[in-house]
Amino acid sequence: MGDVEVVAEFGKGMLTSPWWNEFAASAGTVFHTSRFLLPWWEDRQAKSPDSRLVTIGVFDADGVVGLCAFELDAGVLSFAGGLDVVDYMGPIAAAGREKEVAAALGEWMFEGLPWDRAHLAGLAGDAAAADSMVDEILRRAPSAVAETYDQAPRIEKAPDGYLRSLNSKRRADVLRKRNRLIEAVGQLELVVSTPETTLDLLERLLSWKACASAATGEFVAAYGDFLRKMLSGLTAADAGHVVELRASGRPLASAIMLRHRDTAYIYNMSYDTSLTVESSLAPGVVLVSLLVERSLDSGLRFDFLKGAQDYKLRLGGVPVDLTAVTVER
């Protein structure tokens, strides 16, 4: 491992150390922070008591250069974070140290921990640390399978503003949907939750989602408590909010928005389905377009997270591959 050292611990001890969030703030995503991983782990442990969390720091003489969190459950090794609720997983590393960090983690993973099968997902195709980890695993286990299982559309920063970044057809479609909704329900406004109102707005979003379909109802039943804990913590740090689209005080649609470094993430959303009955109104798409516009016009990039649905692409999202690597021993 050269000049770097791997320090691994079972349990959440490292997640409670200040350096973890400091490093995640400089090199990772919101999903690498303890504010996200700790409530995820509490939820996961309640559902799978035998599962074990492994937190890892990679250090050189000057301090931390990389980190990663794993889960070990019934002989299966995965990155910490379930696919149902976490989009980006795996290691993060200081710029220029990605290969060193991947080599150190690879040695630890193959020589320092017993497992029968590894399924390592959430590796974003545009992240150097993720790419280095894929290369390292394939080098150590040539029979491993690396494959794209989803995509996460994103819109990069737009110095001239969001609407100007769209071609004329897409811009006209966005404005047409907004105008139709305004004609039907009145002038629109975005209302951002405060620490005092976040849970109330979240409950409305979850109730809409629970009624939307059997699948979304099951999601709310399984992960509603996790969402409440996770968002409460992020709201307290000004890193997560519920944003509602309203007209004349009436809630039409809402979204959970997360913020980390220079990126705004739309984590989940729902809307009042009564607006779409026997009409062509699209309150959800209108809300998302307004959130994209607000974010890009504020100098942020916008991440739709996984799922390359058509509406994300029509709003300007450019898909980034998400890779999973599977290794059998």
**pLDDT tens column, 87-108:** 999 999 999 999 999 999 999 9
Q: Is 163 contained in some domain?
A: yes
Q: Is 170 contained in some domain?
A: yes
Residues 124 and 32 in one domain: yes
Q: Is the pLDDT reported for residue 274 higher than 90? A: no
Tokens of 43: 């939820």
Residues 178 and 222 in one domain: yes
Residues 129 and 170 in one domain: no
Residues 189 and 204 in one domain: yes
Residues 95 and 175 in one domain: no
Residues 72 and 195 in one domain: no
Residues 144 and 163 in one domain: no
Confidence category of residue 273, pLDDT binned at 50, 70, 90: confident
Residues 108 and 203 in one domain: no
Q: Minimal CA–CA distance to 217: which of 208, 227, 204, 229?
A: 208
Q: Is 315 contained in some domain?
A: no
> How many helical (H) and strand (E) elements, i.e. helices and strands, does the chain have?
10, 13
Q: Is 316 contained in some domain?
A: no
Burial pattern 273-287, b for ≥16 Cβ within 10 A else e, equals eebeeeeebbbbbbb
Residues 121 and 192 in one domain: no
Q: Is the pLDDT reported for residue 45 higher than 70? A: yes
CATH code of residue 214: 3.40.630.30
Residues 174 and 56 in one domain: no
Q: Is 313 contained in some domain?
A: no
How many CB atoms sit inside 10 A of residue 290's CB? 20
What is the rounded distance in angstroms from the CA atom of residue 2 to the CA atom of residue 39? 35
Amino acid occupying residue 228: R
Residues 145 and 17 in one domain: yes
Share of the chain above pLDDT 90, in %: 94
Residues 107 and 36 in one domain: yes
For the entire predicted model, the pTM comes to 0.94
Q: What is the pLDDT of residues 98-141, one digit of tens each?
A: 999 999 999 999 998 899 999 999 999 999 999 999 999 999 99
Confidence category of residue 3, pLDDT binned at 50, 70, 90: confident
Q: Minimal CA–CA distance to 246: which of 199, 289, 190, 194?
A: 190
Using the 8-state DSSP alphabet, how is residue 53 labeled?
Answer: E
The residue segments making up the domain with residue 13 are 5-151+321-328
What is the rounded distance in angstroms from the CA atom of residue 210 to the CA atom of residue 329? 40
What is the rounded distance in angstroms from the CA atom of residue 319 to the CA atom of residue 46? 34
pLDDT score of 2 = 58
Q: Is 310 contained in some domain?
A: no
Alpha helices in the chain (DSSP H): 18-27, 34-47, 98-111, 128-140, 162-165, 168-185, 198-212, 214-236, 283-297, 310-314
Q: Is the pLDDT reported for residue 1 higher than 70? A: no
Q: Is 305 contained in some domain?
A: no
Q: Residue 154's beta-bridge partner residues?
A: 303, 318
State the burial class of residue 99 (Cβ atoms within 10 Å of its Cβ: 0-12, 13-18, 19+). middle
pLDDT score of 280 = 76
Q: Is 311 contained in some domain?
A: no
What is the rounded distance in angstroms from the CA atom of residue 8 to the CA atom of residue 16? 14
What is the number of structural domains in the chain?
Answer: 2
Residue that the structure tokens 């809409």 belong to: 208
